[in-house]
């Protein structure tokens, strides 16, 4: 079974500082990995994905994520946080080899960027 773990319920960072939101995954085959962001009372917005190739993936709004197969991790990063980045972030995985289409989400990490 595929699963995703986001070990931190909340991450606090000062504006201008780098941020990292952690994600580890477990799949039986090869993973497709995704990051989504959710603002209050809004749908989930796609940020970036890892399919294959370069382990460092760049996405929307200056976010990037690094795929690490040996550590089964896909941490979300941004060099300089903005107050407007404050939101709920979800990591998600899809198992490429089982053929299942569904995304399995982590429990989410709330990012709070202080001015």
Partner 1 sequence: AAGVIQSPRHLIKEKRETATLKCYPIPRHDTVYWYQQGPGQDPQFLISFYEKMQSDKGSIPDRFSAQQFSDYHSELNMSSLELGDSALYFCASSPRGAGGYSYEQYFGPGTRLTVT
Q: Binding residues for partner 1, per CB under 8 A? A: 32, 34, 36, 41-46, 49, 51, 90, 94, 96, 99-108
Distance linking the first and last C-alpha atoms of the chain: 41
CB nearer to partner 1: give 41 or 70: 41
Q: Closest approach of Cβ 34 to partner 1, in Å?
A: 6
Q: Closest approach of Cβ 100 to partner 1, in Å?
A: 6
Measured CA to CA, the distance from residue 23 to residue 80 in angstroms comes to: 19
Q: Identify whether the C-beta of residue 29 lies closer than 8 Å to the C-beta of residue 97.
A: yes
């Amino acid at each position: 079974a595929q699963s995703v773990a986001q070990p931190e319920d909340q991450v606090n960072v000062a504006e201008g500082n780098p941020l990292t939101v952690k994600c580890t995954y477990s799949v039986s085959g090869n993973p497709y990995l995704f990051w989504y962001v959710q603002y209050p009372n809004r749908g989930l917005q796609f940020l970036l994905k890892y399919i294959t190739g370069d382990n460092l993936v760049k996405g929307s709004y200056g976010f990037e994520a690094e795929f690490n197969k040996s550590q089964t991790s896909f941490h979300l990063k941004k060099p300089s946080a903005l107050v407007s980045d404050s939101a709920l972030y979800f990591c998600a995985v899809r198992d490429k080899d089982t053929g299942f289409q569904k995304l399995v989400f982590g429990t989410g990490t709330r990012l709070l960027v202080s001015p």
